[in-house]
Amino acid sequence: MNKKIALAVSALAAFALVGTSACSSDDKDPATSTAATTATTDAAPALKVVGAPFTTELYGVGLPLDSSLCEQVNTAIADMVADGTWLAKLNGQMEGVLYTPNPETNPPKDFEVCDNKAGTFTTASSDTIKIGIKFDQPHLGFKEGSTYTGFDVDVATYVAGKLGFTPDKIEWVEAPSKSRETLLENHQVDIIFATYSITDARKEKVEFAGPYFVAGQDLLVRGDDDRITGPESLNESDYKLCSVTGSTPAQKIKDTYAADVELVEVTGYGECITALIAGRVDAVTTDDIILAGLAAAGVR
């Protein structure tokens, strides 16, 4: 019993770690970063992304409807892919994780057609740019103290550079899923890079440039688990699946793929990862790059 309580206390610490241990890796030299990898994999079981993604989600760059930046953003993303920065940044973020983005769709080649040619709005302030990102997704958009890291942040920094804003002129703003449209409509942010899938419903409220990444829904399982290989194998036993409340993946898996699977919905991926490591759920589902980022956070 004592052991269990000790475990429970350490659970809270582990939960904090899923977040905090995630992001300082870029600054480390290769030698120390390898050492850190071996040390932590011994302590906690590694996580792996399984199978090929089974949906397609185009991660777009959200802009206000009256923005004039759409074409410039598309050009900047094309430049980033062409000069190799895109791939280098992605590999840097996902280092040490068994994960390859879908090679047929990545890096993205077909960009959104910028409908609004008459847009006049650039940024609310002329010398700084307010960029909306997620603060809680390791290796995508992540806040640690006063530094911001992740692939979304890397792409945003590059694009902002092409728009004429050096990194010290960027103001990072948290853009949670629920308020992304409102933030753009009210010009509280100038541009959003926050795992923002392009959909028709959203296009009525915001303009999309990009995509800068083509993600797809996938599954994250414990490293030593060979039973689950794809969404169909979830029906083979009474597996438990975790996702974030109200997210598209949670809705999709219930409706389309594994109808019999028991779905656990919580408010954050950190909660899902803790339950996965503790063995209370068997898989976590969302877009592959988010899962890879979570797995990378566990590895380092």
Summarize as ranges the residues that interact with another protein (CB under 8 A).
4-5, 7-9, 11-12, 15, 177-178, 180-182, 199, 201-202, 204-206, 240, 245-248, 250-251, 255, 262-267, 271, 274-275, 278, 280
- CB 46 to another protein: min, Å: 19
Tell me, letter by letter, the H, E, C secondary structure of the chain.
Answer: CHHHHHHHHHHHHHHHHHHHCCCHHHHCCHHHHHHHHHHHHHHCCCEEEECCCCCCEEEEEEECCCECCHHHHHHHHHHHHHCCHHHHHHHHHCCCCCCCCCCCCCCCCCCCCCCCCCCCECCCCCCCEEEEECCEECCCEEEECCEEECHHHHHHHHHHHHCCCCHHHEEEEECCHHHHHHHHHCCCCCEEEEEEECCHHHHCCCEEEEEEEEECEEEEEECCCCCCCCHHHHHHCCCEEEEECCCHHHHHHHHCCCCCCEEEEECCHHHHHHHHHHCCCCEEEEEHHHHHHHHHHHHC
Cβ nearer to another protein, comparing 55 with 274: 274
Region of residue 246 (phi > 0: left; psi between -120 and 50: alpha; otherwise: beta): left
Cβ nearer to another protein, comparing 80 with 244: 244
Nearest to 150 by CA among 163, 141, 159: 141
CA distance 96 to 40: 12
Cβ nearer to another protein, comparing 23 with 183: 183
- CB 193 to another protein: min, Å: 17
- CB 182 to another protein: min, Å: 6
- CB 294 to another protein: min, Å: 16
- CB 110 to another protein: min, Å: 22
Cβ nearer to another protein, comparing 169 with 205: 205
- CB 102 to another protein: min, Å: 22
Cβ nearer to another protein, comparing 53 with 270: 270
- CB 143 to another protein: min, Å: 18
Cβ nearer to another protein, comparing 169 with 240: 240
Cβ nearer to another protein, comparing 93 with 286: 286
